Structure 1
Amino acid sequence: MILRLFRQYHTENAGFSRRDGSAGPGASATYIVTSHKNGMSVQNGNTIRVHYIGELTDGTRFDSSEGRDPLEFTVGSGMVVPGFDAAVLGMKIGETKSVTIPPADAYGEKTDEMIVDIPRGEFGEDFTAEPGEQLMIQLGDGNQIPVTITKINDTAVTLDANHPLAGKTLVFTITLAEILETNPDA
């Protein structure tokens, strides 16, 4: 039952991020360009490299490329959340942009359908875990998805398959480092 529910959601939504590029009702992103240089600009289909800092609206940093290689992805391919894809369009090498991305253009809203109770016996007698721990659940099609244990009692284990950033507004500072490939059809 649980695997069917996760598989159905995963199939219908292509994972936890919205990969179709659509925005939810009333969603909008805020862009602030802080610096840029002249030259070629990013178009859909380009393979690019960016440095970024990802924060929540309260300033809590959840990810960054600092101290690592830049993030490389093909714009418009669904490799990043839709709001990040949209933010890099038109950027030029060396340009830095700050963008605020609402949940609809990031990891979506948190949904109750992604929270389920599983009978404790299905985990085996030697199962030991604490709320807050993450597990990987294998779906019927062989794919795996991460879930977070939110509650454990004598009869059930509550699992949450919402993305940890679901329901959150994200703030990214993005610097375009390179445009590696251009899309000849763009």
Structure 2
Amino acid sequence: MTEPVIGNNSQVFVHFDVELPDGTVADSTKAHGKPARLTLGNGSLSGAFEAAIKGMCKGETRRFSLDPQHAFGERNPDNIHHMDRTQFAADADLTEGTIMAFATPDGNQVPGIIREVAGDSVTVDFNHPLAGQMVIFDLEVLDIIVKD
């Protein structure tokens, strides 16, 4: 029996570090002690990310970089909103850089980053924190489940 390789419709368990070009680690499944489960072919991953890991085998490691448009997208100015201070709980931490959850009309939650507080106006950025940045993945394949 041959060792499975990552291909279309594979479910993959990986550990990864996401680094910025300056070497800062932005996220790490190893640090959280919990591998990520990725599914290729379902639209949840960019085509460039899928292309970078296709053909890998269990136990293999790979380091690759993705430009913003292939990683977390470009920064979108329409995702920056100015909200009234009264829309926040009185004890809410509105320190610049604080990430908090906001409810959407459909009941889901999305993260927003407090960018500025000026008087009664709070500027919230709903772009992904890594939007607009090139990122480097250091990835290790832990397991592959090939789906028919």
* TM-score for both structures, normalised by structure 2: 0.86
Number of aligned residue pairs: give it. 146
Task: Tell whether the 8 Å contact from 1:42 to 1:88 is kept in structure 2 after alignment.
Answer: yes
1:57 aligns with 2:2: no
What is the identity, as a one-letter code, of the residue corresponding to 2:26? F
**1:28-47 CA-partner distances (Å, limit 9, x unpaired):** xxxxxxxxxx8331111111
Q: C-alpha offsets along residues 94-150 of structure 1, whole Å, 9 cap, x if unaligned?
A: 222111111111110111101111122333655552111122111111111110111
Structure with greater contact order relative to length (CA < 8 Å, sep ≥ 6): 2
TM superposition shift of 1:80: 4.3
- Is it true that 1:175 corresponds to 2:140 in the alignment? yes
Residue 4 of structure 2 contacts residue 146 of structure 2 at CA under 8 Å; is this kept in 1? Answer: no
More strand by share: 2
Please report the TM-score for the alignment, with normalisation by the length of structure 1.
Answer: 0.70
Aligned to 1:45: 9
> Does the C-alpha gap of structure 1 residues 178 and 156 become closer, same or farther in structure 2, counting only changes over 3 Å?
same
2:69 paired residue among 104, 107, 110: 104
Tell me which residue corresponds to 1:137: 102
Q: CA RMSD in A?
A: 2.1
Distance 1:82 1:143, change over 3 A: farther
Gaps in structure 2 of 5+ consecutive residues: none
Q: Percent identity?
A: 33
